[in-house]
Amino acid sequence: MIRIANGQGFWGDWLDAPVRLVEQGPLDYLALDYLAEITMSILQKQKEADPNLGYARDFPPLIARIAARIRERNVKVIANAGGVNPVACALEVRRLAPRLKVAVVLGDDIFSRLDELLAAGHAMNSMDTGEPLSTVRSRILSANAYIGAFPLVEALATGADVVIAGRCTDTALTLAPMVHRFNWAPDNWNRLAAGTVAGHIIECGAQSTGGNCQADWQSIPDLANIGYPIVEAEPDGSFVVTKHHGTGGRVSLETVKEQLLYELGDPINYITPDCVADFTSIRLTADGPDRVRVSGIHGRPRTPFLKLSIAYSYGWKAIGSLVYSSPQAVEKAEAAAAIVRARLAQLGLAFEEIHHEILGANACHGPAAPPHPNPPEVQLRIGVRGQDRKAIDRFTRELIPLVLSGPPTATGFGDGRPPVREVVAYWPALVPRDSIQTRVEVFE
């Protein structure tokens, strides 16, 4: 049996979680998941501005903080913190923790290969609209292929203390240690599906140990010291989801079920680079306090394609807000929104979208929100999106004047005019698997 924990569900997760995981109990592998689709475009811009950036900058100081403990306990760290510059990330880890051996997985970043792939006949049509990538080629900010567990397995085989990848799948961070330690064959679909499900359960960190949990959330103990999830994996593909003894939070059938449904499309066809997992085959059983056993998972062969995560520029946006207090707080907010819309129309400004919502009344539930005749205060949130940056900038100058020229009791304007920000859109596409080649480099 091996123990695999996940100490980061996204870039910005609790900084102390990985430290506590390696200090509070036994562990073999520590997975850290940093990347989201929007993160890749942000990192690409950082790299363009500074070739030494483009990775999750929280990661190297974290590794330096736990370096002595992971060497002492022989804990291997595996993370996708490399973003679009895994080598720079590895060099910074080595600078801060020079005794560690670091392996880097490369090949997922195809930003510089896009024209080559297009010339080879790969249209990379949007999976949402069917449009060819050529229609947005000039506006692309980043492009990465989702790679699976086996390149990470190759990196683990080097004996590295830390494995750094770019855009691997979230589930691969957990599956790779299982394949490595149990020597699972690349066509053992049931085992690969089991490791994939394990990765899905713990990929969001404490979301599977009681965080963000709807089921009886008020009774979940000590969320301030919540324990992050650990998978106790067996060679046969079965595993137990748990956490370190004495930590806060809860592992139960309910918390695991909620996480299984997270970002789930077709439950019979959960497609990854490594296999296709059937979530309807999953069997859950209580295995004691804070322990849920998972078994019975079936899988099918991987597809001949890899998915691409491509980000491109899609114009500009600005969002601003004002707070109104009672009486008639909602009526004041609606009147303010109407004034802004009227003034924008008088200026002849057109936007792809203008939207407003009222926090405290209908922002979360919309028309389904229960009536609240007189809330003590609400926040008007109004935003626009479009291709004309000058028009967006003009909008930012129409909200603050309402403090004196609109409904009474406006406040919450201390930050001044809202900033104009670039809109980054997501372009999912497919390429043949054999068009992506990965490799491993070792730094020691």
pLDDT higher than threshold 90 for residue 150: yes
Give me the pLDDT at residue 274, please.
Answer: 98
pLDDT higher than threshold 80 for residue 398: yes
What tens digit of pLDDT does each residue of 222-266 get? 999 999 999 999 999 999 999 999 999 999 999 999 999 999 999
Residue 417: is it exposed, middle or buried by C-beta count within 10 angstroms (0-12/13-18/19+)?
middle
- CA distances in angstroms from 266 to 24, 190, 301, 427, 429, listed in the order given: 37, 18, 16, 20, 18
Give me the pLDDT at residue 37, please.
Answer: 76
What tens digit of pLDDT does each residue of 202-234 get? 999 999 999 998 888 999 999 999 999 999 999
Please report, rounded to a whole number, the percentage of residues in the chain having pLDDT higher than 70.
100
Higher-scoring residue by pLDDT: 39, 196:
196
Least reliable range by pLDDT among 20-24, 83-87, 369-373, 422-426: 369-373
What tens digit of pLDDT does each residue of 293-318 get? 999 999 999 999 999 999 999 999 99
What tens digit of pLDDT does each residue of 156-209 get? 999 999 999 999 999 999 999 999 999 999 999 999 999 999 999 999 999 999
Give me the pLDDT at residue 41, please.
Answer: 79
Q: pTM higher than 0.75 for the full model?
A: yes
Average pLDDT score over residue span 390-402: 96
What tens digit of pLDDT does each residue of 118-135 get? 999 999 999 999 999 999
Give me the pLDDT at residue 366, please.
Answer: 86
Give me the pLDDT at residue 367, please.
Answer: 86
Give me the pLDDT at residue 353, please.
Answer: 97
The rounded distance, in Å, linking the Cα atoms of 228 and 247 is 9
pLDDT higher than threshold 80 for residue 38: no
Please report, rounded to a whole number, the percentage of residues in the chain having pLDDT higher than 90.
90
Give me the pLDDT at residue 388, please.
Answer: 96
Pairing of strands 102-106, 162-164: parallel
Give me the pLDDT at residue 273, please.
Answer: 98
pLDDT higher than threshold 90 for residue 430: yes
310-427 has CATH 3.40.390 classification: no
pLDDT higher than threshold 90 for residue 369: no
What tens digit of pLDDT does each residue of 80-108 get? 999 999 999 999 999 999 999 999 999 99
Instruction: Give span(s): CATH 3.30.70, the chain.
Output: 310-427
What is the DSSP secondary-structure string of 296-364?
A: --EEEPPPSEEEEEEEEEEEEEEEEEEEEESSSHHHHHHHHHHHHHHHHHHTT---SEEEEEEETTTTT
Give me the pLDDT at residue 121, please.
Answer: 95
The rounded distance, in Å, linking the Cα atoms of 242 and 210 is 11
The rounded distance, in Å, linking the Cα atoms of 412 and 379 is 8
Give me the pLDDT at residue 10, please.
Answer: 93
Say how many Å lie between the first and final Cα of the chain, rounded: 29
Average pLDDT score over residue span 351-378: 91
Give me the pLDDT at residue 301, please.
Answer: 98
Beta-carbon contacts of 147 under 8 Å, excluding residues fewer than 6 positions away, are 105, 107, 108, 165, 166, 167, 168, 169, 172, 273, 306, 436, 438
Cα–Cα nearest to 198, from 152, 256, 148:
256
